[in-house]
Homo-oligomer: A and B are copies of this chain.
Amino acid sequence: MKRKITLKQIAKELDVSISTVSKSLKDSPEISEDTKLKIQAFARMYNYKPNNIALSLKNRKTKTIGIIIPEIVHHFFATVISGIEQVANENGYNVIICLSDESFDKEVINMEMLANGSIDGFIMSLSKETQLKADYHHITEAINQGMPVVMFDRVTNDILCDKVIIDDKKAAYDAVQDLIDKGMKKIALVSTVDYVSVGKLRTDGYEKALLDNDIPFNKNLIIKVEDMDHCGEAIEKLLLDRAIDAVFAVNELFAVIAIKAAHKMGLNVPEDLSVVAFTDGIISQFSTPTITTVSQDGIKMGRKAAAMLIDRLQKEEAEEEHEEHEEHYRTEVIETHLIKRDSTK
């Protein structure tokens, strides 16, 4: 049986990274000549077939959209997919979903697989590892070969393409300002590590709101959660010292953990502690107390991303006929607002 050799197999055989193989086969100046020659020779020997996306695009449209998201056990991403599905189906497109599991290699492999004639364009949100490495060559490559990409939520300025985001900094600012308006001063931030773009922007918004209200910025009130299991302990410690009267959490799971920690210490929410979170997921609506959140309308985000991609695909079709080319990328900002529930006064 004859099998096509993949980037992954070449990487494994030669004990180099997938990124190195991919760049070598594109003759990237980032890779040493020696390495490139070795990898290119190996690929030729095993008859590696690079994707000829541009060619396949001219020959047939698949009427299928490929989605690559970091994880699926996450209500926000699930709602974005629902939004994409709605607009895709309204326009006669199918949808295929792949998960990067927050892994750079999986993101590269999945893009290679889907770009190989299965889809017309990508809608994607970057994996944590991709953001950490800041290596986006696989995305540039897809775009250069004529495969449009729309990024949402976790985006990067390093890639020119259509994007759908919320104004994370402003939304965080507004949520924290609301707490300050109610007399809170000792506001803890429970966030992700900084290389996750949205975590960083929300942290910036939190900091700006404090400074604009002449509240000193205190690094000790910031918990950066790398590992969910230790998040509860860190919050309990802050509560034990009675150092805080509010928690601003960048997602609802962190908020629920904060509420559980408060209950465990005999504190009441919102009487003794106010809690506000990002993401209007299903937990916020069903927890007791219900949680005040910054709405982050995943359905709307998904609908907008799909509309932008389909718009671009249809323009390309028209351009093929008229031999015109125009690159004009947009970044759409989805409005957010604070949904007030029972976890704040």
- Interfacial residues, chain A to chain B (CB-CB below 8 A): 1-4, 6, 8, 58-61, 63-64, 72-75, 78-79, 81-82, 85, 89, 92, 94-99, 101, 106, 109-110, 113-114, 118, 256, 260, 263, 282-283, 286-288, 317, 320
Contact = CB atoms under 8 A, between A and B. Distances in A.
A99 B113 contact: no
Contact of A73 (B78, B110, B256): B78
A72 B82 contact: yes
B2 A59 contact: yes
Contact of A94 (B58, B98, B287): B98
A79 B99 CA distance: 13
Contacts of A118: 118
A146 B17 CA distance: 35
Contacts of A63: 6
Of A59, A85, A97, A283, chain B has the most CB atoms within 10 Å of the CB of A97
Contacts of A75: 73
Contact of A287 (B2, B98, B113, B288): B288
Given A81-B72, A82-B73, A98-B94, A320 B1 contact: yes
A254 to B, nearest CB: 12
A147 B74 CA distance: 31
A206 to B, nearest CB: 24
B94 A97 contact: no
Contact of A72 (B60, B72, B260, B317): B72
B94 A96 contact: no
A79 B6 CA distance: 28
